[in-house]
Amino acid sequence: MDKTIAQATISVDQEGYLTDFSQWNKEIGTEIAKEQGIEMTDKHWEVIDYIQDQFKNEHPLSIRGIKKSGVLNIKEFYALFPGGPLKKATMIAGIPKPKSCI
């Protein structure tokens, strides 16, 4: 289905995840974050960059993988993206919901 955000029309699934990563840009990510109640900081973008890099290189995403990344620890991850950090971070990053998320 289509959704208009940051003055662009994007394709999303029924949970709100982008279905076409090529439609993502930082403005769209910022607006999705606002919808999730998150005000993006440099640290947030560092995590988003890491997640997108993992996606582009076809590495599966998990909270354990984030922990081992060295980008941040688990407490920081939950603090930056409260209420489902991997779900929220991947949605903001414009990638599909990881299979490890219920």
In a domain, 80, yes or no: yes
HEC-encoded secondary structure of the chain = CEEEECCEEEEECCCCCECCHHHCCHHHHHHHHHHCCCCCCHHHHHHHHHHHHHHHCCCCCCHHHHHHHCCCCHHHHHHHCCCCHHHHHHHHHCCCCCCCCC
In a domain, 100, yes or no: no
User: How many domains is the chain built from?
Assistant: 1
In a domain, 16, yes or no: yes
In a domain, 101, yes or no: no
- What residues are labeled active site? 101
In a domain, 102, yes or no: no
24-81: pLDDT as tens digits: 999 999 999 999 999 999 999 999 999 999 999 998 888 888 888 888 899 999 999 9
Q: What pLDDT score does 100 carry?
A: 65
* Whole-structure pTM value: 0.91
Confidence grade of residue 102 (pLDDT, cut at 50, 70, 90): low
In a domain, 79, yes or no: yes
Domain region containing 37: 2-93
